[in-house]
Structure 1
Amino acid sequence: MRVHPRVWIGLAIYLGYVLVIFVVSKLSGVAYTQIGTSAEFTWRGAVLDLAVGAVLLAITTWLLGWWRPALFERKRSHHKWPIFVPALMLVVAVVNLFNTDWSKFDASFLLSLLALGLAVGFCEELMSRGLLLTALRSRFSEVWVWLLTSVLFGAMHMINAALGAPVAGTLGQVVIAAMSGTCFYIVRRVTGSLIWAMALHGLWDISVFAVGFAPMGGAWASILGPVIGILAVVVVHWVIKGTDEKPVGSPAVAASARP
């Protein structure tokens, strides 16, 4: 690592990312409620800001030298069974895809949804459960790392209200996002890699936007999403237990190594 992780660095990245997403989204002229209703609004209102965010996050990660700690665990969780919760999320996402009337999408719309999924999975996971998590591990115990990354991940969705989303609905989205963040955290801990969390996150968002635009069946995500989130919070203890992922060379690690 070129720069040793510090909590303030992670918080600065978090705030900077949220600001960039807000400013670029605002300049696009597309309200949050219009995203996912057409190819043009999806490209301009969601993909553009995420693309800018992806470039800036990649540059930041390279400058800090944090690619490895941001993307990979030194040791995976001792308990693997909690992965059943993210597996349920995957099943619901697939059901959403089968309950979508794909005949209502043209090629540009389909590409915009794919780009949205790839970008949101990369950006939001790298920022929250990658860089922010790495920074928080330099000082806090893992239970606080999980809690803070999940809460801050949920809180950043408040900008949707400033971009045109209803306030009441946004508050509910904040809570659901925080619990979903726990689900993605479980994926990272059990598999040992953030990449799988990025993939699940991207697929989930694609399925939600797709079925929201052209539904053929029940709204599985809206019904089962909160249930999956609650289950994730219930079982997360077992993937945190015994975790020691503080960055090598951190004060806590150095102190524990002293005779």
Structure 2
Amino acid sequence: MRIHPRLWMGFVIWAGYVVVIFLVTKLMGVPYTRIGATAEETWKGAVVDLAVAAVLLAITTSLLGWWRPALFERKRSHHKWPIFVPIVMLLVAFANLVNTDWSKFDASFIFALVALGILVGFNEELMTRGLVLTAFRSRLPEGWVWFISSVLFGGMHLVNAALGAPIGSTLVQVLMAFASGTAFYIVRRVTGSLIWAMLLHGLWDVSVFAVGHASVGPAIANILAPVVGLLALAVVYWVITGTDEKPVDVGASEARLAA
């Protein structure tokens, strides 16, 4: 790695990302409650800011030289069975897509949703369970790495309230994001790659926006989503135990520099 990870870098990267998302979305002038209502408002309110942030994240990762530790585990989890939770999440996402009336979407709207899914999966995973996780692993035990990175992932959604979302629903979203972030963390630990978490995350968000815009039946997936989150929290211990994923031996590096 070009630059050794430090704990404080994770917080700076997280704060920088949140500020960029907030400022660009604010400049586009689309209230959060209108995102997903029309193709134009989805492009302006949820794709432009993510595109800007994606470029900045790619530049940051390259300058730091953290692509490998951000995207791949050195060792996968000893326990593979917790992957059933992300699989259930995948099935819920498909249920959302099936429960969507796609006739209410034109080509521009569908492209906007696809772009949103690709960008949100890339951005939020690379930022929280990629760069932030790499920075935190330089000092913290893995249990704290999972917990704090998941808290930050949930906390970043508070910006939605500043963009016009009701505070009550935003707080629920924060809690749900903490739990769903745990499911994405499980994907990384079990598969050994953040890429699968990016794909699941993107599909999940597309399905949520789609069914929220044009549902054709009872929102069964809305009932199952909290269950998935609770399951993720219940099994995450087994993908953390025995983990030693420090990206560098910081103590040894500092000793060499001092010598």
Range moving further from structure 2, 225-234 or 212-221 = 212-221
Shift of 1:139: 0.3
Instruction: Map Cα deviations across residues 220-244 of structure 1 (whole Å, 9 max, x no partner).
Output: 3321111100100000000001000
- Residue 168 in structure 1 maps to residue 140 in structure 2: no
Determine the structure 1 residue equivalent to 2:49: 49
Contact 1:10 1:131 in 2 (8 A): yes
Q: Cα distance 1:252–1:78, how it changes in 2: closer, same or farther (>3 A)?
A: farther
Task: Kindly state the Cα deviation for residue 9 of structure 1 after the two structures are TM-superposed.
Answer: 1.0
Per the alignment, in what secondary structure is the counterpart of residue 168 of structure 1? helix
Match of 2:124?
A: 124
CA contact (8 A) 1:28 1:45 kept: yes
**Structure 2 letter corresponding to 1:130:** G
> Quick one: percent identity of the two aligned structures?
71
What residue number does 1:145 align with?
A: 145
Is the contact made by 2:138 and 2:248 (CA closer than 8 Å) also made in structure 1?
Answer: no
How far apart are the structure 1 equivalents of 2:250 and 2:88? 36
1:5-84 mapped onto 2 (5 Å cutoff): 5-84=5-84
**What amino acid sits opposite 2:91 in the alignment?**
V
Give 5+ residue unaligned stretches, structure 1: none
Measured in 2, the distance between the counterparts of 1:213 and 1:88 equals: 23
Measure, in 2, the Cα distance between the counterparts of 1:44 and 1:59: 23
Q: Distance in 2 between matches of 1:193 and 1:221?
A: 26
Question: What does the per-residue CA deviation read over 1:111-145, in whole Å, with 9 as the maximum and x for residues that have no partner?
Answer: 00000000000000000000000000000000000
Aligned match of 1:85: 85
Q: Is the 8 A contact 2:158 2:170 kept in 1?
A: yes
C-alpha contact 1:11 1:132 (8 A) present in aligned 2 = yes
When normalised by structure 1's length, the TM-score is: 0.97
SS at match of 1:146: helix
Q: Specify the code of the residue in structure 2 equivalent to 1:60.
A: T
3-state SS of 2:55 partner: helix
Task: Decide whether the 8 Å contact of 1:208 with 1:221 is kept in 2.
Answer: no
C-alpha distance in 2 between matches for 1:253 and 1:94: 47
| Aligned-partner residue type, residue 187 of structure 1 | V
Are 2:138 and 2:249, in contact at CA under 8 Å, matched by a contact in 1?
Answer: no
Determine the C-alpha separation between the residues in 2 that align with 1:48 and 1:182. 27
Q: Distance in 2 between matches of 1:219 and 1:170?
A: 19
CA deviation map 1:9-50 (0-9, x unaligned) = 111110000000000001110000101111000000000000
| 1:165 Cα deviation from its structure 2 partner | 0.3
Amino acid at match of 1:214: A
Contact 1:138 1:247 in 2 (8 A): yes
Partner of 1:114: 114
Partner Cα separation in structure 2 for residue 106 and residue 169 of structure 1:
28
Report if the CA contact (8 A) 1:246-1:252 is conserved. no
Residue matched to 2:210: 210
The secondary structure found in structure 1 opposite 2:36 is: coil
Question: For the Cα contact (< 8 Å) 2:4–2:248, is it kept in 1?
Answer: no
Distance 1:2 1:225, change over 3 A: same
Deviations 1:170-219, CA, capped at 9 Å, x for gaps: 00000000000000000000000000000000000000000110101221
Corresponding residue for 1:100? 100
Which ranges in structure 2 are unaligned for 5 or more consecutive residues? none
Q: 1: distance between equivalents of 2:142 and 2:184?
A: 15
